[in-house]
């Protein structure tokens, strides 16, 4: 069983809809990372969380350390949000390499 599970695996939404992507993990972590992978393959960092909530534009990320769960929300979704969203966790104790462990991603398609 993967230590990081994401749901749903695939998601199709109409433009303007509110979207939620979930990430659950089964290990102790020191940080959680939400990444966005574009169709060409390039990956960009969206958020790094260790507690609470962060907001950037239409994106909101929350984490509940006790429940080992994080959510990524997209408000007023747009076709340009179509991408694969990946959750990654940094396990504790973090060794010198700071390796992340990744979920398999959620493929989001926003239809105009």
Partner 1 sequence: SQTIHQWPATLVQPVGSPLSLECTVEGTSNPNLYWYRQAAGRGLQLLFYSVGIGQISSEVPQNLSASRPQDRQFILSSKKLLLSDSGFYLCAWSRGGYEQYFGPGTRLTVT
User: Which residues sit at the interface with partner 1, rule CB under 8 A?
Assistant: 2, 4, 30-31, 33, 35, 40-45, 48, 50, 86, 88, 90, 96-105
Task: Report, in Å, the least distance between residue 77 CB and partner 1.
Answer: 23
| Residue 94 CB neighbours (<10 A) | 13
Rounded to the nearest whole angstrom, what is the least distance from the CB of residue 75 to partner 1 in the complex? 24
Query: Which residue shows structure tokens 């960092």?
Result: 45
CA distance 103 to 100: 10
Closest separation in Å from C-beta 90 to partner 1: 6
Closest to partner 1 by CB, 77 or 106: 106
Which lies closer to partner 1 via its Cβ, residue 26 or residue 50? 50
**What is the distance between the alpha carbons of residues 99 and 51, in angstroms, rounded to a whole number?**
19
Cβ-Cβ contacts under 8 Å for 44 (sequence gap 6 or more)? 35, 36, 38
- In the complex, least distance from residue 105 CB atom to partner 1, rounded to whole angstroms: 6
Question: How far is it, in rounded angstroms, from Cα 54 to Cα 1?
Answer: 29
Cβ proximity to partner 1: between 70 and 77 the closer is 70
**Is the CB of 17 or the CB of 101 nearer to partner 1?**
101
């Amino acid at each position: 069983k993967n230590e990081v599970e994401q749901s749903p695996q695939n998601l199709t939404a109409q433009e303007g809809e509110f979207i939620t992507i979930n990430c659950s993990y089964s290990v102790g972590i020191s940080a959680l990372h939400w990444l966005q992978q574009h169709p060409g393959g390039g990956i960009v960092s969206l958020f790094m969380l260790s507690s609470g909530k962060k907001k950037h534009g239409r994106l909101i990320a929350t984490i509940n350390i006790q429940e080992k769960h994080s959510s990524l929300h997209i408000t007023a979704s747009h076709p340009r949000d179509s991408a694969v969203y990946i959750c990654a966790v940094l396990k504790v104790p973090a060794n010198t390499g700071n390796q992340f462990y990744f979920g398999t991603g959620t493929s989001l398609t926003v239809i105009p």
